[in-house]
Amino acid sequence: MLELRRLVLLRDLAAKRTVTAVAALHRITPSAVSQQLRVLEREAGAPLVQRRGRALVLTPAARMLVEYAERALHELEQGRAAVAALRNEVTGTLVLGCFACGIPRFAAGLVAATARQHGGLRVEIVETEPDQSLSALKAHRLDAAVIYHYPLADLAVPAGITRIPLLADPLVLVTPRSWALGETTLSGLAERPWISYPTGNWCASATTTACTDAGFSPDVHHVCDCYDSVLSLVGAGAGAALVPQATVGRGGDYAITAHPDATRHIERHVELAIRDGSSTNPVIATAARILREIAADSDPL
């Protein structure tokens, strides 16, 4: 009989491409992964991987088993949701992944709302970035995850994951209040200093793209990986920046322009990621409802 846990390792090998990456995902050693794959080959009665140089390539038999594994996992998730739905109360534990800047609004809001509405539901928050959240969700270390992505830099979403839209969060331009009124447009800031983000950060790519669309390359004086730090520097007169609207607080010492004069409307999409088949689980459905309510209550500019 084929062991589902071993099929999961094979599925993840198809996605991650290396035994080392699969081992890191499941927090086991590479030798343990290799051993389990050899056992699975004996169970299947067919070769599943072939070595080409340093790379492992799945055989046609392995690819077929991966498809069946995805279907089986989907059915099991639906079964788990159906059993949970038999209970009259929303109880249990929800482990939610959330990116750092989403915790004050989404994760904390969910914890507070469930405490008021569903005393039998325990919510555990894990701070993690979207790509890590999706891997942990596939590995069943998370039950759901609040993630984000920019259309300019597509997020690789693995098979078996459903995304529920929560919020379209446009980038807004923030400039020091001490600057001239005419300097609240992108095109008027070509000679001004800018605050941006570390290389590889999606918001850094969005900033570069928006400024390029406006006809210039930003003169970046400061690099931060935290929106609060960016806003503090803007308030201190250190430069201009683009930040997601949902991160901007009221009363800061900066001017806010809701729609900078870029040729493309650049926004961050915030979503709830869950495993396929889990949407009817009362715990997941409750979390999704509350998070949609939190998103709907967002204060637009």
Q: Residue 131 domain-assigned?
A: yes
Whether 96 maps to a domain, the answer reads yes
Please answer whether residues 123 and 112 qualify as being in contact, where contact means their C-beta atoms are separated by less than 8 angstroms. Answer: no
130 and 276 inside one domain: yes
Does the residue 301 lie in any domain?
no
The verdict on residue 127 lying in a domain is yes
Whether the Cβ atoms of residue 195 and residue 224 lie closer than 8 Å to each other? yes
Task: Kindly state whether residues 78 and 100 are assigned to the same domain.
Answer: no
**Of 262, 292, 269, residue with least CA distance to 172:** 262
72 is a domain residue: yes
Tell me the DSSP string of 34-57: HHHHHHHHHHHTS--EEEETTEEE
Check which CATH number belongs to the domain holding 58 and give it.
1.10.10.10
The reply to whether 259 and 203 lie within a common domain is yes
Q: Which domain holds residue 53?
A: 4-84
CB 93 within 8 A of CB 55: no
Verify that 15 and 153 share a domain, yes or no: no
Query: Are both 290 and 144 inside the same structural domain?
Result: yes
pLDDT in tens, the chain (301 residues): 788 888 888 888 888 888 888 888 888 898 898 888 888 888 888 888 888 776 778 899 998 888 888 888 888 877 877 777 777 778 889 999 999 888 988 999 999 999 999 989 999 999 998 989 998 998 889 999 999 988 766 677 888 899 999 998 888 899 998 887 656 678 888 999 999 999 878 888 888 888 888 889 999 999 998 888 999 999 999 999 999 888 887 667 788 877 666 546 678 899 999 998 888 899 999 999 999 999 988 654 3
Answer yes or no: do 143 and 182 share one domain: no
Kindly state whether residues 125 and 189 are assigned to the same domain: no
Q: How many structural domains is the chain composed of?
A: 3
Q: Are residues 195 and 222 in the same domain?
A: yes
Of 38, 59, 84, which closes a domain?
Answer: 84
pTM of the model as a whole? 0.75
* CATH number reported for the structural domain that contains residue 101 in this entry: 3.40.190.10
- What is the CA 208 to chain-centroid distance, rounded? 22
| Residue 103 and residue 182 in one domain | no
Instruction: Specify whether 262 is located in the same domain as 208.
Output: yes
Q: Are 193 and 234 in contact (CB under 8 A)?
A: no
- Say if strands 254-257 and 267-275 run parallel, antiparallel, or are unpaired: unpaired
Looking at the fold, whether 130 and 256 belong to one and the same domain comes out as no
Indicate if 70 and 188 belong to the same structural domain: no
